[in-house]
Structure 1
Amino acid sequence: MSSILTNNSAMVALETLRNVNRNLEAVQSEISTGKKVATAKDNAGIWAVATVMSSDVESFKQISDSLSLGSSTVGVARAASEQIVKTLQEVKSLIVTAQGENVDRTKIAADITAKSDLVTGFINAAQFNGLNLIDGNSAATVNVLASLNRASDGTVTAGNIEVASVDLTTDLAALATIDVSDSTAAATALGTIEDLLQVAIDAAAAFGSSQASINSQGEFVKNLTDALRSGVGSLTDADMEASSAKLQALQVQQQLGVQALSIANQQPQALLSLFR
């Protein structure tokens, strides 16, 4: 039955065209933004997960900066400790020389005093951004922000690498009292410098280990950040090749839909022939 009041063919063609236009709008959005999930209305679940991961990526950028700062701070303390070790080794050589009988003890004592002043200068200068890990003025343990730990329930906690400071000002105080004025004092000084040298070596080794740990964590954070970015991309990025092919197909469907609707709208005109 034909009707001039209800054109079923036109309604079907119109609904088909509407669906094509909606799909075409979605594909054009993917192509323009590069994302298949750009807002929560695109896919609420995926958008929520991707947003949380993206916020973690931004946080890990700050953590990477914190690790770089920590590595630099510890690196200064390590370099200073190593230089102190070298200077103490030179002091030890002077003390060994003082073990002899026919030596200029006054000159040796003056050299030891000069090197003791150098050690004091190294300790005082070993600061980075105001933090000195070897002068005894910092906290016993310094925390370097190293990670962001997210539990399965969404709880987030910060992870730290602890770096123990060393009070070389106090630990090496005996350096200023070394006496080589006679053979007995020189023999005592030899034992003293051995102890002081071991203190400095232990400090340099500890700082070296801490800096290696911080640098390793820094590399891990960079790799983790790249992995998170890749994960977010796989969830939200559009497949541009597929979108391009889909766009062309929808454009053809749109043209056919317009043509089908035009044909359906002309059907009532055919009824006029019945009344001629």
Structure 2
Amino acid sequence: MSSILTNTGAMVALQTLKGINTNLAKTQDQISTGKSVNAAKDNAAVWAISKVMESDVTGFKAISDSLALGKSTVSLSSKAAESVASLLTEMKGKIVAAQEASADKTKIQTDIAALTKQIDSVVSAAQFNGLSLLSNRDSATTYALIKTTVTGTGSVNVLSSLDRSATGVASASIAVAKQDLGTQAAAAGGLTLAAAAFTAAGTATANGAALATYTVAGETATAGRNAAVMAGDGYSFDLTKFVGTNATATGTALYVARDGDTTTDIAKNLADTINFELKKQGLSTDFTITASGATFTVQNNTATALAAAAAGDATLTAGGKAGGGLALVAKIDVSTTNGAKAALSAIEGLIQTSIKASSSFGSAEGRIMIQTKFVGDLMDSMKAGIGSMVDADMEEASARLQALQVQQQLGIQALSIANQAPQNILSLFR
């Protein structure tokens, strides 16, 4: 049945043409943007995933910049530490020369003082964007009773990654341990923790062996103190009690704990200080200190008899200033024979300190370089993954465009034919 009121053929042709035009517009949009999913309406799930990944790529780009900055900072610090090691090696040569009885020790000491100033200059200049990894003497509020102590901050974190989980995103960092190659002297704190911070007992025997055990007191959970070792604690030993039968020592050996120190660190550094100070005074000594918990065992390994130790031979104070890692350099004085001998015993350990610092920076720099490459590869993989989800297949889009253009022409032709049907009805009434 034919009708002049309802043209079914034209309606079908029109709907078909509309569908073709919609698909054609979509294909043209894919070709112009290069994306098959350009908005949430195209595919909400894929679009949401791609946007999250794109945000992560942006974040990793910032991380790549952070790693580049961190690498530059660590590289600069490593080269500075190597320079300090070279200066200390040069200083060692002069100290060795000072061992000769006929050497002009005064002039050699002048050279050593100049090298010490150069070390300070290198350490002061080793900064990148205001950050120095060779000076670890930052101030920090440590306890309620102590306003400020100089204890060091331990390490610097270099932003290295983003870790995404079901609950959110967390940042990850590479910790670069700060080193201290300064020559600043330590300073004991003004707050005495106990009237007799150490209790001690010791004996002297005929062959010179003496053993003193010092137990830290006052390290209770009061005033914010809850550990055996606290940054800023000053451990002082009275050298007048560590004397031989035929010699008298003077002064005090001091070590101030810095952030991250253990009792083992304190024991080693304090023993080095004791040995250096006593050898400068002409005493043949070889002190070792071992630590077990809060107990220090002080042992003299030479054949020099010691006076018996007693309570009060050592003191413990809080709120001190940590000394530089090369604090003994500033105390080197080869103008005397005993001073030259003490310097020779100390310089090797100082060189090892600088080498250790350079090695630590080298390891950190290597890790940063590995992480930088990984982040670059990760960004490339994420970009490829995003592309596989949202990018248009241009070959397929090109073929579809040509097919749809032909369909559009045929649709227009079909609509034109359908619109001619009423004209055919008119011929029946002629």
State the TM-score, normalized to the length of structure 2. 0.62
Correspondence for 1:275: 429
TM-score (normalizing by structure 1): 0.96
- Structure 2 letter corresponding to 1:235: M
Unaligned runs of 5+ in 1: none
Change over 3 Å in CA distance of 1:196–1:47 after alignment to 2: same
Does residue 17 (structure 1) correspond to residue 17 (structure 2)? The answer is yes
SS in 1 for 2:94: helix
**CA drift at 1:137:** 3.5
1:10-159 superposed matches below 5 A = 10-138=10-138, 139-151=153-165, 153-159=166-172
Counterpart-to-counterpart distance in 2, 1:234 and 1:267:
49
Alignment of 1:218-257 (within 5 A): 218-257=372-411
Whichever structure has more strand as a proportion of its residues is 2
After superposition, what is the alpha-carbon deviation per residue over 1:217-258, rounded to whole angstroms, capped at 9, x for unaligned?
111111111111111111111111211111111001000000
Q: How does 1:163-174 map to 2 (within 5 A)?
A: 163-169=176-182, 170-174=324-328
Cα distance, 1:271 vs. partner? 1.2
In the TM superposition, structure 1's runs of 4+ consecutive aligned residues that sit over 3 Å from their partners are none
CA distance in 1, matches of 2:171, 2:394: 38
CA distance in 2, matches of 1:272, 1:180: 127
* Match of residue 174 from structure 2: 161
- Cα distance in 2, alignment partners of residues 19 and 135 from structure 1: 72
Letter in 2 for 1:81: A
Task: Give deviations 1:13-53, integer Å, cap 9, x for gaps.
Answer: 11110110000000010111111111101110110000000
- 1:184 corresponds, among 333, 338, 348, to 338
The C-alpha deviation readout for 1:96-135, integer Å capped at 9, x for no partner, is 1222222221221111111111001111111111111112
Residue aligned with 1:146, SS: strand
| Count of residue pairs brought into register by the alignment | 275
Q: How far 1:262 moved relative to its partner? A: 0.3
Unaligned runs of 5+ in 2: 139-152, 183-323
Give me the whole-angstrom Cα distance separating, in 1, the residues matched to 2:338 and 2:110: 18
